[in-house]
Amino acid sequence: MNARHMDTLQQLRSYVGRRITKIERLGYEFRGSQDIDNGDLQVWFNGDVLRFGVCSDGESLRVEEQPWKDPFAAPLSEENERYVETHGRSVLVDVSAEPGFDALIGQPLQEVLPLVNEFGKLIGVSLHVGPTVVDVHVEFDDLHLTWGDTGPTWRR
């Protein structure tokens, strides 16, 4: 792993011991239908946030300590309204009460382990929260979450 990846791990490990208060996924909404399976993940620790996403190379994990900002926040111009009606928009969805995520709320982050591909790139992390392990990883330009020992496909 390079120095940037090591810095990312150090940044993530600074959250160990802190309790998760909210979890959100960035999805896409089009004509009332939402898809939140492969978008950014935001994990909140009271007022602080870790946002996981995909780097521009399409294979490395991106981690930021800033929440997602909606480029189509109200009020929308007429042009943006037409665009959203025709093409849809990104939306942030609180998944804290969803199955799996609900077990993480109120629990402390216990450990963060790197997921590195064969080229030494940090493509994800394993988040250990109580008895639950969540792998947050990049695969084919998308951010995926796998629970327990399922892990990324290349680890199976």
In the chain, where are the structural domains located?
3-155
Window from 16-25, 27-36, 145-154 with minimum mean pLDDT: 145-154
The length of the chain in residues reads: 156
Work out the percent of the chain whose per-residue pLDDT is above 70.
Answer: 95
DSSP element (H, E) containing 113: strand 109-116
- Asked if residue 79 lies in contact with residue 55, where contact means CB atoms within 8 angstroms, the answer is no
Band (pLDDT 50/70/90 cuts) for residue 122 is: very high
Whether the link from the prior residue into 75 is cis, omega within 30° of 0, is: yes
Closest by CA to 122, choosing from 92, 96, 152, is 152
Asked if the model's pLDDT at residue 139 lies above 80, the reply is yes
Band (pLDDT 50/70/90 cuts) for residue 150 is: low
Instruction: Say whether pTM exceeds 0.75.
Output: yes
- The pLDDT of residue 149 is 59
- The pLDDT of residue 141 is 92
- The pLDDT of residue 2 is 85
Asked if the model's pLDDT at residue 102 lies above 60, the reply is yes
- The pLDDT of residue 156 is 42
Question: φ and ψ at 15, to 5 degrees?
Answer: -90, -5
